[in-house]
Structure 1
């Protein structure tokens, strides 16, 4: 564990998933940190001590299906409604009534829906990398099937249980290294190269990943942490999040177009496809995030924002948290 986390506490708390593993540091108002794919609580290693030093109780969880949290059987156990319930259960298990929730990647979408569905629990929401886009439009699978022409979009590639697992699990460490590098500012392929978000007919995602180089933010020890967790758990729990997007679209029908009104923050990477592809969602924030306090695009930053640019992200987070009502 990094030296700055030596006084952090690991705990298991009850949740609808069974148990959620979390790491907490500090005392004060609760800030719940939710990671994305394919990561774990460890993606917040740079934020936990800084938030603790700023006077917050910082808590980073392993989302269900990841790390040391429970891994319920069945694909449908990873729908958004269940992940929101897990987050609320963590808050209450820690003896709190409310929290600020901050998420990255899938964690940003989980955080947004936690604020939308449980406003009495989540008083503010921070989104990293993936903008808030209200439920609406066609069924997600129909959108993804139309993307890429002769190539297959990675979300579609992830849909069939076992297919992506067969690519990833024989060499988890190597696959993760390539995936992280493909979406990092200093190692991502040039725009003239084949897009690593798509799969060629008969190919794999890894075919388009950079090889034999790690981004600056990812040390060998960091990669060992991530790889060790997925080598132990497998990837199905993590991939099942993608396999519920149509279910989420059905479950959230009553929230079509719904805004999130709590105080909010967005931080995106200037070189991140999540930011560029979803530019219209960012432009719609005056309507969809009327409580937006601040929105930032970090130049020359890729997808792994809080790990690529921890100093800037920590400053933006603590400034935003300090602006919130007590």
Structure 2
């Protein structure tokens, strides 16, 4: 049976969360990262529905049609995990599977830790799970890059990154998507787009005139239109809560995620290579790991760069989970 994607707004601690859903059966909640939207899962929604699942992709608070609180502290992990719980309960899908990409992977892991009764399994794309611990994140990122500034630190000051991005949202998004895609990223040895030179911008290190194979003009138009309407502050506020998350999650210092889990990353993605030690630690940090994959030649936008492979991995993993 074919099911159209339907859209709804559900109540949450933030006010409301936009949900795009398709299919019937056990609920799989899909959580995107930066700078994306529910639309990042456009290839997974029909595949999961065809496999017998109810797939629900959210706009994380601050994005798209979801609420955008003005207070930066409203974007801390505990709040975003509460949004995920609210969506699951509004859809009558408890207990659910949660799958996240990029920041969404962190939200998925955080939701699984904070609400193990609501989330029975967790899938992580691109960003491996690393338990809370170590120094304060702002101090850690400030020490990276020497004279250059790591992009996470660059995003901390309210208004600074917005001033770079918002005058040309479409061009900035196109450049970032190209910079982190396996087929268009800068050549080895080129200046790293994850770092900003003193007085510089991220944009100046993005590839020019190179469009990833996975991204059509119409798809880029959709992303750009969402951020032109919402602005970038809500999305960037996720980065501005790293230290709050570190404080809030202190009770989970070093804690493993014990639910059945999946990880998939791209071999060319900095999140995979820089965090290789986190992947090696999975036997301790993800004791329920069922499936782990690193896709050759793939960059950061894994479910869009390799939709067929990711769909196969997800549906096989889901089919192997204990029944609800």
**What's the TM-score bracket when you normalise by the shorter of the two chains?**
over 0.9
Written as runs of structure 1 = structure 2, the 5 A alignment for 1:31-110 is 31-110=28-107
Q: Secondary structure at the match of 1:211?
A: coil
Q: Secondary structure at the match of 2:100?
A: strand
Q: Distance in 1 between matches of 2:84 and 2:94?
A: 12
Deviation at residue 97 of structure 1 after TM alignment: 2.0
Q: Distance in 2 between matches of 1:17 and 1:199?
A: 32
Deviation at residue 213 of structure 1 after TM alignment: 1.8
Cα shift readout 1:33-71 (whole Å, capped 9, x = no counterpart)? 000000000000000000000000000000000000000
Counterpart residue number, 1:219: 216
Q: Answer yes or no: is the 8 Å Cα contact 2:3–2:49 preserved in 1.
A: no
Written as runs of structure 1 = structure 2, the 5 A alignment for 1:212-291 is 212-291=209-288
Q: Distance in 2 between matches of 1:212 and 1:18?
A: 40
Q: Secondary structure at the match of 2:291?
A: strand
Is 2:140 the counterpart of 1:136? no
Q: Distance in 2 between matches of 1:126 and 1:56?
A: 15
Written as runs of structure 1 = structure 2, the 5 A alignment for 1:298-317 is 298-317=295-314
Q: What TM-score, normalized to structure 1?
A: 0.98
Q: Distance in 1 between matches of 2:171 and 2:238?
A: 22
Q: Secondary structure at the match of 2:312?
A: helix
Return 124-133 or 93-102, whichever deviates more: 93-102
Gaps of 5+ in 1: none
Counterpart residue number, 2:315: 318
Q: Distance in 2 between matches of 1:161 and 1:73?
A: 12
Q: Answer yes or no: is the 8 Å Cα contact 2:23–2:48 preserved in 1.
A: yes
Deviation at residue 7 of structure 1 after TM alignment: 1.0
Q: Answer yes or no: is the 8 Å Cα contact 2:124–2:263 preserved in 1.
A: yes
Q: How many residues align?
A: 322
Gaps of 5+ in 2: none
Q: Secondary structure at the match of 1:120?
A: coil
Cα shift readout 1:176-225 (whole Å, capped 9, x = no counterpart)? 00000000001000111000000001000001000122100000000000
Q: Secondary structure at the match of 1:303?
A: coil
Q: Distance in 2 between matches of 1:284 and 1:96?
A: 31
Written as runs of structure 1 = structure 2, the 5 A alignment for 1:116-265 is 116-265=113-262
Q: Distance in 2 between matches of 1:114 and 1:240?
A: 18
Counterpart residue number, 2:17: 20
Aligned residues: CA RMSD: 0.8
Q: Distance in 2 between matches of 1:309 and 1:120?
A: 32
Q: Answer yes or no: is the 8 Å Cα contact 2:14–2:68 preserved in 1.
A: yes
Q: What TM-score, normalized to structure 2?
A: 0.99
Q: Secondary structure at the match of 2:290?
A: strand
Q: Distance in 1 between matches of 2:227 and 2:3?
A: 23
Moved over 2 A (4+): none
Deviation at residue 96 of structure 1 after TM alignment: 2.4
Deviation at residue 98 of structure 1 after TM alignment: 1.2
